């Protein structure tokens, strides 16, 4: 149907039951190609906004302060139910396909499109998650304040073993399944370090991609700058980061005057942010 419609140069709009198949297929390919994206949460909904009910904090630590038969006990106000709102924005991807490909290879075009568009949308998701600005686009984990627990490097310059050891310790004491995300440049510096007494740590990082038992995820989408105040690594449970994705996707082949190329255009609506900013750590350069 896709190939026939492209040959006839008529628009295709997929929604309702059809949209489920398209979205499922595209994001299944994304999950296969980008391991980090398989581990974050995705919420699908056609609404203009996605509201996620959350507890704003953990309940207070219980204590024995009440006498037998006490009345009028003060309620715990430490934890309160709230909502995190994520507003999806339109994301556009375009694939030009030649007339020769449509006519001579039409049987394969539909099968290739999920992989082609998966690459495009996954790149946008990874960039938004790790390098976005948060001003109308996805809130990056590396945006200052996206996660509100801070820890500073011990000295100016590239973060060192001491900094990552401390970050791992804070994360594993707080989160159930924490990971550390940082740029590959910083991991390379750790592995090439000649500091004394770090050989065991280097072996753990090299063979298991762990620091003190906390998984380290390298990504070149994460920033590699380390000026004072820059976030050089983050630590969190990845279930705390949520993508809100609208179910409707429009897919339209467009024929421009003066060319035999058909431009196959896809539009999806998505956005992302941490659900609870307090449930994560940012390691900052000094």
C-alpha neighbours within 13 Å on the C-beta side of residue 102:
21
pLDDT at residue 38 is higher than 50: yes
- Alpha-carbon distance of 172 to 158, in angstroms, equals 23
Report the Cα–Cα distance between both ends of the chain, in Å, rounded: 57
Query: In the predicted model, what is the mean pLDDT of residues 45-50?
Result: 66
141 in Cβ contact with 234 (< 8 Å) = yes
Helix or strand (DSSP H, E) at 249: strand 249-255
Q: Nearest to residue 104, comparing CAs of 10, 7, 12?
A: 7
What are 166-222's pLDDT values in tens digits? 999 999 988 789 999 999 999 999 999 988 889 999 999 999 999 999 999 999 999
Q: Is the pLDDT of residue 6 over 60?
A: no
Q: Structure pTM?
A: 0.80
Asked if residue 39 lies in contact with residue 238, where contact means CB atoms within 8 angstroms, the answer is yes
pLDDT at res. 200: 93
Quote the mean pLDDT of the chain.
Answer: 81
DSSP β-ladder status, 81-86 and 249-255:
unpaired
Residue 210 makes CB contacts below 8 A (sequence gap 6+) with: 204, 216
* Cα 17 from chain centroid (whole Å): 27
Please report the pLDDT score of residue 180 as a whole number: 97
Question: What per-residue confidence (pLDDT) applies to 14?
Answer: 42
Residues whose CB is less than 8 angstroms from the CB of residue 18 and which lie 6 or more positions away in sequence, other chains included:
none
Instruction: Name residue 29's beta-bridge partners.
Output: none
The 8-class DSSP code of residue 240 comes to: G
Of residues 38 and 6, which shows the higher confidence score? 38
Angle at 39 between CA 30 and CA 249, to 5 degrees: 40
Q: Is the predicted pLDDT of residue 64 greater than 70, yes or no?
A: no
């Amino acid at each position: 149907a896709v190939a026939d419609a492209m040959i006839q140069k008529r628009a295709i709009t997929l929604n309702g039951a059809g949209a489920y198949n398209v979205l499922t297929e595209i994001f299944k390919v994304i999950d296969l190609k980008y391991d980090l994206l398989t581990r974050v949460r995705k919420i699908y909904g056609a609404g203009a906004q996605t509201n996620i009910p959350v507890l704003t904090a953990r309940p207070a630590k219980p204590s024995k302060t009440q006498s037998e038969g006490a009345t009028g006990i003060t309620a715990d106000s430490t934890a309160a139910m709230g909502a995190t709102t994520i507003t999806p924005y339109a994301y556009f991807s375009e694939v030009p396909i030649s007339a020769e490909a449509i006519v001579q290879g039409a049987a394969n075009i539909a099968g290739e499109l999920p992989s082609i568009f998966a690459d495009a949308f996954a790149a946008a998701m990874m960039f938004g998650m790790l390098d976005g600005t948060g001003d109308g686009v996805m809130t990056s984990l590396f945006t200052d304040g996206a996660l509100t627990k801070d820890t500073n490097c011990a000295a100016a310059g590239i973060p060192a073993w001491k900094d990552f050891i401390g970050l791992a310790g804070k994360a594993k004491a707080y989160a159930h399944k924490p990971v550390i995300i940082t740029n590959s440049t910083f991991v390379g510096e750790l592995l090439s370090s000649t500091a004394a007494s770090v050989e065991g740590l280097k072996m753990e990082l090299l063979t298991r991609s762990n620091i003190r038992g906390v998984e380290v995820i390298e990504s070149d989408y994460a920033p590699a700058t380390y000026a004072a105040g820059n976030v050089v690594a983050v630590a969190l449970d990845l279930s705390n980061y949520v993508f809100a994705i609208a179910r409707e996707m429009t897919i339209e082949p467009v024929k421009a005057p003066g060319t035999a190329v058909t431009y196959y255009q896809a539009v999806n609506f998505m956005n992302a942010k941490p659900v609870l900013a307090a449930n994560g750590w940012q390691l900052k350069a000094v």
